[in-house]
Amino acid sequence: MSAIKIGVIGGSGVYKIEGIEVVREHTVSTPFGNPSSEIIEAKLNGVTFFFLPRHGKHHSFTPSDVNYRANIFALKELGVEYLISVSAVGSLKEEYPPTTFVVVDQFIDWTKGKRERTFFNNGFVGHTSVAEPVEKELQQMIVDACKEVGVKHGVGGSYICIEGPQFSSKAESNIYRSFGASVIGMTNVPEAYLAKEAGMAYASIAMVTDYDCWKEEHCTLEEIMKVMATNNQQAHAVLKKLIPKLNGNLFSFKKENTYSVLSKPEKMTADQERMLSVLMR
């Protein structure tokens, strides 16, 4: 197990931060198949961390096709305990215009059942609480970094995760607003829940690209990509502040998976024993 405990998962633009040094790439096979890409070991301001492009290096996986279990398992097997998620979202609230970062604390799963969302199946039985999917101390560190670099941000609120890859209809968008959700995206579920099952501290930076479609403003993919360029630059600034601060303050946190497993070790297969040893570290 590596001494590197910080991981970042997001778009491929994240590891194009000025001053970042790519140390090497790690190929990790898991009981759940291959992750989206090799895990990139990188150094920023003297701090080494792991980075995984969620959709692959060349954005070749749709949100439904991402192997979330393999991604989280591979990062945990490498030693990651603190996981920062960076992703694009639509805003469901007037007060969160494009280029705002929303540091959410809850998730609503509105996917269609196509995604494998737990490590526990096929005779490997466990139940983990995801009542508080975001680690509060890590969330606050993200908020502090946003303040330091001057990024407009919101704190708290729910991220509703839809299946995609299509964006919402107006009727759907208004239903999601009626739930009180703050932002809408396609990737943070089951990612956040799997991180809890893996005993990780997880927090998400939701970067607003548009107002979804509930407002009377048509938004094209081309327009969204222009906003994404701005958001990526802001994300770089936040991560350059956040990663060194987190590395110097690796706080203790409650691992919700501690008492999750119900299966008896003596009845487990070799793969299940490996899963148990990795998830429960």
List the domains of the chain with CATH numbers. Answer: 6-269 (3.40.50.1580)
All residues at 6 or more sequence positions from 259 whose CB lies less than 8 Å from its CB, including other chains? none
Q: What is the pLDDT of residue 2?
A: 66
pLDDT higher than threshold 90 for residue 14: no
Q: What is the pLDDT of residue 225?
A: 81
Span of 11-25, 35-49, 117-131 with lowest mean pLDDT: 11-25
| pLDDT-above-90 percentage for the chain | 87
Q: What is the pLDDT of residue 280?
A: 94
Tens-digit pLDDT profile for residues 194-225: 999 999 999 999 999 999 999 866 667 777 78
Backbone φ and ψ for 218, nearest 5 degrees, come out as: -75, 135
Across the chain, what does the average pLDDT equal? 94
Rounded CA separation 195/192 (Å): 5
Q: How far apart, in Å, are the Cα atoms of 208 and each of 84, 86, 222?
A: 17, 11, 15
Q: How far apart, in Å, are the Cα atoms of 128 and each of 51, 191, 269?
A: 25, 14, 21
| pLDDT-above-70 percentage for the chain | 97
Span of 44-53, 130-139, 156-165, 213-222 with lowest mean pLDDT: 213-222
Q: What is the pLDDT of residue 218?
A: 64
Q: What is the pLDDT of residue 16?
A: 79
pLDDT higher than threshold 60 for residue 1: no
Q: What's the average model confidence in pLDDT over 262-268?
A: 90
Q: How far apart, in Å, are the Cα atoms of 52 and each of 9, 81, 85, 254?
A: 5, 14, 10, 24
Rounded CA separation 78/83 (Å): 12
For the annotated catalytic residues, the residue numbers are 210, 212
Q: What's the average model confidence in pLDDT over 12-40?
A: 90
Residue 144's region, left for phi above 0, alpha for psi from -120 to 50, else beta, is alpha
Tens-digit pLDDT profile for residues 50-86: 999 999 998 999 999 999 999 999 999 999 999 999 9
pTM of the full structure: 0.95
Cα atoms found within 13 Å of the Cα of residue 17, Cβ hemisphere only: 24
pLDDT higher than threshold 90 for residue 12: no
What type of residue is 31?
P
Q: What's the average model confidence in pLDDT over 174-195?
A: 98
